[in-house]
Structure 1
């Protein structure tokens, strides 16, 4: 009888959907960890460093091509009819094409000047297109209440190809190249785009040819998205500026070691962000309901995130050294203390989601912008000061200080907002999504 009730519970659409989304998310996050080990095992530290630079540039290019325009379009899509949703997508496509052409010119110029490696430029542009289209399709699937399909797309884009390439590299030594990794990454993006296209086929695409971009709406959307774009840019600077500074002052081999560890830690950030997104609706609803509900939602969020972040830090700190020894990665094991030095900063970045979402639910976008930009400036300045002197340990220290500044400033502002929360909003007052954790790449 008990087993029958359990089966009935698991077969309920809402429970089955949540479990499916969770399993897909775990598999995607696990693939990031596997990818970091795979690259460390199969590529030289210099090639690993080249990969780290490429993915850092890709993250900024994705911000440039998307311009956080989704923060405007998703708010418009929620109450829109299917026909109106197609018109919104047309506006987004027009903006994307313009931004992509501009980025293509920049990449072409950088390649011609010898700043960007010519052999990687085609892969970079292909990845930029597939990643952006699949990422936007994922957001549309989520906003149209198809989260399981959205996470299938995420798994195709960032997960399943890693498992496939791991088997290929172990069985075929000639495939152990950076170009092979990029080719399979692009293939995963193409698969995600194809799956998303099928999933969204119920929209009235036949009227697409009659739609024309609404440039007035696009300009309005860009004004709305501007603070989100600057906030996301600040977050990316904190995550990636150290790679450029290490490459310039220390060298590609050292960057490869640093990229290996930051790949694992960015995966932890994505794990934390996945949990944070589960609490976002509760925090928004709590702010709409009043001060008591707002504090209760944040309290539950804080303790859940504290347990996750603490557990992740302790576990990774204990297993990293024996794991590297077991895999024979002595080059990386010799710099294990860099990883330990990076852990406090990642812990604070994970915990910073709590005050960030508290301010986000209260629509305190200006505070979020100032805190992220301020921390980005701190990170940049400290990296420029410390990395030339003490190498990758300086980058780890700079990241920790910047994360501390971010966490403390957000907590101070959020505490003020929570203490004085008297301006309740209607639950129907739409709030956009915060920066997607999948914008952060290894």
Structure 2
């Protein structure tokens, strides 16, 4: 019974976090206008992308290695990973700082950027560690604290006092919440009996981990690069104000993917891995069909619902600029829908350990996006970036689907068996 309550609490916290982030974009669009919203969107995308450079997704290697050992040895791994992170900060901070030197991002936001980047990185690693040791509820609570509660508080503050409707208040609330989320996670980890900190830094272990992480990291940087390059490209085409409209509509469309991640993919792909390892082809096919069915139904319902309520939301925001640029939304919705469908063959390949098609498709997708957007920029400047995303995700979906059909044994291939 206790575990059931914990699972329900976990789902509730995750849902509350997603909902608060969804509503936050609409409220901030109402309060600060498209230009500041565009700056916020570029800022958050850049923070998210920079995390991959200072983290290297090294957790995919370190977490697995730690779980093989007793907690009395974990300090050795965590210490080595910490040193690696410090080196990565030393390497990449100058190049990241150049974004402010060349005014790609406003210089007055530089201090907030690096404070939030460090806090997000620390919280990300701590959250992953909590999940790995089956502290999902605490991980969800920390996630809500750093991503959900501050958004609610900022909206309440801006509604009560017009003088607080600036990005400084947004980033201050984000940083404070991130600090307390980190304290909460570290407090729990302190009582786990982790030791082994006296060991010297294991450079052999670090180098081995980097070699393992780099190939998939390149693919991740490519696919995540689409959600960073899109905003910078749109800024170059139409200005920061247009990026504000784009961020508003993207925030609504991406909610579909966020709920699918939390409610479908997070539960489905571990089952695919487990059933493939157990050579249970029947359950493997069954789970893939289930994921495809749930993804299609939820995406269709979400698309219909969001297209229906969008006019009312734009009227409530009360800014004609968003209404004038509402044509962006159907394309972003289509891009998200195609991306969601592409996750089915993605996880089918991933569960079998067949990473090469995933890596290749992600790398080539950036070229597809750039080519499509460049060709359309002159004739359809407003829609060039969204259509570029549709092309990129469409290519990924087709490539992974063909790769899945070709590489998957017939008994595991639900499309052939």
Distance in 2 of aligned mates of 1:311 and 1:57: 31
Q: Contact between 1:86 and 1:204, CA under 8 Å: does it hold in 2? A: no
Equivalence map 1:156-195=2 (5 Å): 156-195=145-184
Distance in 1 of aligned mates of 2:253 and 2:177: 23
1:122-173 CA-partner distances (Å, limit 9, x unpaired): 0000010000100111100011111111111111111110111111010011
Q: Contact between 1:227 and 1:365, CA under 8 Å: does it hold in 2? A: no
1:359 aligns with 2:349: yes
Name the counterpart of 1:234. Answer: 222
Name the counterpart of 1:53. Answer: 42
Distance in 2 of aligned mates of 1:176 and 1:263: 19
Q: Contact between 1:47 and 1:178, CA under 8 Å: does it hold in 2? A: yes
Q: Contact between 2:235 and 2:243, CA under 8 Å: does it hold in 1? A: yes
Q: Contact between 2:80 and 2:206, CA under 8 Å: does it hold in 1? A: yes
Q: CA deviation at 1:113?
A: 4.2
- Pick aligned residue for 1:71 from 31, 39, 60: 60
Equivalence map 1:324-363=2 (5 Å): 324-363=314-353
Q: RMSD of the TM alignment (CA)? A: 1.8
Distance in 2 of aligned mates of 1:97 and 1:357: 33
Q: CA deviation at 1:347?
A: 0.5
Distance in 1 of aligned mates of 2:252 and 2:157: 22
Name the counterpart of 1:319. Answer: 309
State which drifts further: 232-241 or 120-129. Answer: 232-241
Secondary structure class of the residue paired with 2:353: coil
Judged with a 3 Å threshold, the aligned counterparts in structure 2 of structure 1 residues 307 and 110 are, in CA distance, closer, same or farther, namely closer
1:16-66 CA-partner distances (Å, limit 9, x unpaired): 122111101111101111121122111121111111211121121011011
Distance in 2 of aligned mates of 1:297 and 1:394: 36
Equivalence map 1:205-220=2 (5 Å): 205=194, 207-208=196-197, 210-220=198-208
1:224 aligns with 2:212: yes
Secondary structure class of the residue paired with 1:232: helix
- Pick aligned residue for 2:253 from 242, 255, 265: 265
Structure 2: which 5+ residue stretches go unaligned?
Answer: none
Secondary structure class of the residue paired with 2:190: coil
Q: Contact between 1:302 and 1:351, CA under 8 Å: does it hold in 2? A: yes
Distance in 2 of aligned mates of 1:147 and 1:213: 29
Distance in 1 of aligned mates of 2:93 and 2:144: 27
- Pick aligned residue for 1:137 from 107, 126, 129: 126
Distance in 2 of aligned mates of 1:107 and 1:85: 31
- Pick aligned residue for 2:51 from 42, 47, 62: 62
State the TM-score, normalized to the length of structure 1.
Answer: 0.89
State which drifts further: 61-70 or 368-377. Answer: 368-377
Q: CA deviation at 1:211?
A: 3.0
Distance in 2 of aligned mates of 1:298 and 1:323: 35
Judged with a 3 Å threshold, the aligned counterparts in structure 2 of structure 1 residues 248 and 416 are, in CA distance, closer, same or farther, namely same
Secondary structure class of the residue paired with 1:264: helix
Q: Contact between 1:324 and 1:333, CA under 8 Å: does it hold in 2? A: yes
1:290-328 CA-partner distances (Å, limit 9, x unpaired): 222211121111112222222211111111112211332
Name the counterpart of 2:387. Answer: 397
Q: CA deviation at 1:205?
A: 4.8
Distance in 2 of aligned mates of 1:142 and 1:282: 17
Q: Contact between 1:237 and 1:380, CA under 8 Å: does it hold in 2? A: no
Structure 1: which 5+ residue stretches go unaligned?
Answer: 1-11, 424-442
Distance in 1 of aligned mates of 2:405 and 2:313: 40
Q: CA deviation at 1:206?
A: 5.7
State the TM-score, normalized to the length of structure 2.
Answer: 0.94
Q: Contact between 1:241 and 1:380, CA under 8 Å: does it hold in 2? A: no
Distance in 2 of aligned mates of 1:309 and 1:117: 37
1:88-133 CA-partner distances (Å, limit 9, x unpaired): 1112111111112223222444434444422110000001000010
Q: Contact between 1:86 and 1:203, CA under 8 Å: does it hold in 2? A: no
Distance in 1 of aligned mates of 2:206 and 2:116: 25
Name the counterpart of 2:9. Answer: 20
Q: Runs in 1 of length 4+ with deviation above 4 angstroms? A: none
